[in-house]
Each structure stands twice: as C-alpha cells, then as structure tokens.
Amino acid sequence: MNLENPLSPTPAANRLRNLLVAIAAILLTTALFFGFQAQQSSTSLDAVAAAASPIDVALANDKPTTIEFYADWCTSCQSMAADNLSLEKEYSDRMNFVMLNIDNTKWLPEVTKYRVDGIPRFIFLDSANQAIGDSTGAIPRAIMAANIEAAIADQALPHNSISSDRTSSISEPKAADISQPRDHGKQPA
C-alpha cells in the first residue's frame, strides 16, 4: 500500500521549481539594481561639494555668495545636484558657491545662524556677506539662476522668502473697543 500523495511533486520536480525560482530572483535583483543605477543622477552631491568654495574663502572675497545646506540622504538635494553644478560652472567667476553638509556638526553655528529648518536650504549673501534672500526645498534651475543673476547685479532677488526691508509689515494694534453690548443703538451724549 502506497501512502504517498499522488498529487505531490517528485523530488526532481521540486529541484527544477527551486532552480527556476532562484534564477527568477537573480534576474529580478539584477534588473532592480541596474534600474536604480539608471535613475540616479549622473552628478553626485560629492561632485557639487568638490566644486564649491570653502566658506572662509567665500566670505573673504568681494563676490556675493550662495550657501547650500544639504545632506547626502536628501533626495531633493540629490535631484538638484546636476543643475547646481552647472550653475556653479556658469557663475563661479562672479558668485561664490558654498556647500555645507548639515550632518557635519562643525557647521552647527551656520545652521543655527541661518535658521536651517529644512533642506536643501539656500542662503544668498551680498558682497558684504549680508543675507539678502533664502529658499528652501527643491528649486527649479531657472529660479535659482534668476536669484543668482539678481544677487550678482546687486538687485532684489525675484524669488525670495526674506522681505527686502527685513521688517515685519505688522502695524500698531488698534485701540480696544470699550463699548458695551447695551450701548448699541444709544445716541451719543
């Protein structure tokens, strides 16, 4: 009497199935690996940082400066790397470009000074090293170029989150209304 299940596969069929699953897994892993490699920007943040000026050099010359606060793990920073490198190459004779990695604690004073609360964060300084503008987040190349050109021309930045007069537009509070509900409709005395 044979107690084996007639529907169960033979050992040879099991080995063949396992081999096919292993080959499919290897092919899928290889395809995913090369797919992710193709999606990544050909320009790395390391290349942009290598082309950038050291902050002490940038602050010591008479050119305006763009400081980018970034992190290697920041996908928005990575997506902007190629554009930022091309902007550095195009404008580096008239503008300083500084890259500060927020994961490096040596830049904590700058992170605090410029109130970096998101990345990428761009701080625009005039030739006297005064903050004239800032932007946070992924910024299209055309907007970055417009801000850079304005900073070079010593003009107000067209795309800026710092107000040009650096003061609040809030006015003095109005005097409190001291009328009472029952005063409504009374004639003035």
Q: Which residues are catalytic?
A: 74, 77
Looking at the DSSP bridge assignments, the partners of residue 121 are 69, 136
For the chain, the three-class secondary structure string (H helix, E strand, C coil) is CCCCCCCCCCHHHHHHHHHHHHHHHHHHHHHHHHHHHHHCCCCCHHHHHHHCCCHHHHHHCCCCEEEEEECCCCHHHHHHHHHHHHHHHHHCCCCEEEEEECCCHHHHHHHHHCCCCCCCEEEEECCCCCEEEEEECCCCHHHHHHHHHHHHCCCCCCCCCCCCCCCCCCCCCCCCCCCCHHHCCCCCC
Q: Please give the Cα distance from 133 to 124 (Å, whole number).
A: 5
